[in-house]
Structures are given as structure tokens and as C-alpha cells.
Amino acid sequence: MNLFLQGIAWIFAPANNVGQDAILVRLGQHVGITLLTVAIAMVIAVPLGLLIGHTGKGRSLAVGFSGGIRALPTLGLLTLLALWLGLGLQAPIISFVILAIPSILAGTYSGVEAVDRVTIDAARAQGMTAWQILGKVEIPLALPLIVGGIRASVLQVVATVTLAAYINAGGLGGYAFSGLANSDYVEVLGASLVVIALAIAFEIIFAVLQRLAVPAGITAGTARPSRRSTSSAPRASTPVEGTHP
């Protein structure tokens, strides 16, 4: 407990909140790398996931691809890319984008696939084109799962961005590496607490966004029996005229 309190005191120590290595500066770098990484991954994974979910083609390939990416060791990939591209943000950005893609891809195509086929058939019967069905039916209904995939991706990336400091690319991980090198475990714990707090903040934000992404009609309709269930329910028998109960 004493070490925990020392870690909290380290966060608020004036010496750690001034200059280029201030906690707020490193925190800004950490958030910037995380958001940039996830944004790039979204540009790649969301259209691909929509295509797979809408057409139903390439799902097995996407599952295998995502599983293969998840198996890659991020630190090893980061080291390899740093040796190839040199120091800077290029290697960590590429590494973290690769890490972020599987969750977003899976959330997107799973969300589109989860849309009731009856709803799609009804939209098609109304004369909607394939693009209209995708934009006005499938994406709105799949949005909660899409946001859920982005949410999982952000949490994975925000924790892994600490490795960016391994090649001197900034972020809160610099405190952890310098603390380990100097056997300053208070610094390591303090930096870890900041990363944990940041992850919790992102979790809360995206949990709210995921809740807001649920279409209002679905939210309101959950308390009512569906039209399919009411039509399939057995009707109460009515006495026939001339008969007695």
C-alpha cells in the first residue's frame, strides 16, 4: 500500500509536471498515437468489414487473417519495423494499426451479419437498392457492434502504445522503461496508474457511445413483442355459435 501511495504522489509531484517530459506532455503523445492508430485502422477495416458482411463473401478469409494478426508479437513486430524504417513514429504506428484492425474488422462484419434477413428483404421489397440497404438499414442496425469493435481496439492499443517508448517514440511508456532501467519502481507504478486511468476513461467514453449508437426504434421496441412473435402466437379459441362451454 505504501508503494501504491508513493506512485500516486509521483503523479502529482511538481517535478514530473514541467518541461518536455511532463506527464501531461507524455499523456498527450499517448492519446495522439492511440487515436491516430485507431483512425487509420478504421479507414482500412470498416469498409472491408461492411463489404464482407453485406456480400457474405470472404468471411473465412477474414477470420483467418484476423487470427493470424492477433498471433503476431507486437514488440517483435515493432522491433523489426524499427530496424527497417528507423526510429520515429512510422514503426509504432504501423505496428499498432496491425494490432487494431482485427477487432474493428470483426465487429463490423459481425454487426452487418447480425441484421435480420427479414428486415433486409422488407427493405428490398420497398425498392431500395443494395447501397441504400447498406447505408439506411444495415449500417444503422450494425452500428452498436461496430462501435463495440472500435471500443475493444482502442483498449488494446492504449495499453500497447507504452511500447512506443521502446524505440523512443514518446508516450507514457517512457517512464516505465526509464524506471526499470534505474530500478525506480515508484516511477514504473505511477506511469502504470496513469495508463490504467486513461484506459478506464476510454472505456467509459466508448461504452456511452456504444449505448448511444443503438437505434431509438430498437430501444423502444425491446419492451414490446415483435410482430413475428405476435403473429405466430396461438390465438385464443372462441366459442362457436350454438355451442356451450
Question: What is the grid cell recorded at 70?
Answer: 492477433
Q: Which residue has the cell 447480425?
A: 114
pLDDT at 36: 95
Q: Identify the residue with better confidence: 63 or 228.
A: 63
Q: Using alpha carbons only, how large is the chain's radius of gyration in Å? A: 25
Provide the pLDDT confidence category of residue 75 given band limits of 50, 70 and 90.
Answer: confident
Query: DSSP secondary-structure letter at 58?
Result: S
Cα–Cα distances (Å) from 135 to 11, 101, 217, in that order, read 46, 22, 17
* Pair 195, 164: CB distance under 8 Å: no
Give the pLDDT confidence of 17-65 residue by residue, as tens digits: 887 888 899 999 999 999 999 999 999 999 999 998 888 787 788 788 7
Q: What is the fold, at CATH topology level, of the domain defined by 2-10+22-215? A: MetI-like fold (1.10.3720)
Q: Is the pLDDT confidence value at 195 over 90?
A: yes
Please list, in sequence order, all residues whose beta carbon lies within 8 angstroms of the beta carbon of residue 189, skipping any fewer than 6 positions away: 3, 4, 6, 7, 10
33 membership: H or E segment, kind and range: helix 23-55
228 vs 110: CA distance, rounded Å: 23
Q: Can you spell out the DSSP letters for 176-222?
A: HHHHHHTT-HHHHHHHHHHHHHHHHHHHHHHHHHHHHTS-HHHHHHT
Question: Residue 138 in contact with residue 54, Cβ under 8 Å?
Answer: yes
Helix (H/G/I), strand (E/B), else coil: 102:
helix
pLDDT for res 170: 81
pTM of this structure: 0.81
List the domain boundaries for the chain.
2-10+22-215
Residue 221 has pLDDT above 70, yes or no: no
**Does the pLDDT at position 7 exceed 90?**
no
**Which residue type occupies 146?**
I
> 154 CB contacts (<8 Å, ≥6 apart)?
34, 38, 100, 202, 206
Residue from 228, 74, 84 nearest 160 by CA: 74
CA end-to-end distance (rounded Å), the chain:
76
**CB atoms < 10 A from the CB of 45, how many?**
28
Distance CA 172, CA 175 (A): 6
Residues 6+ apart with CB under 8 A from 218: 141
Which is nearest to 131 in space by CA: 38, 55, 220?
Answer: 55
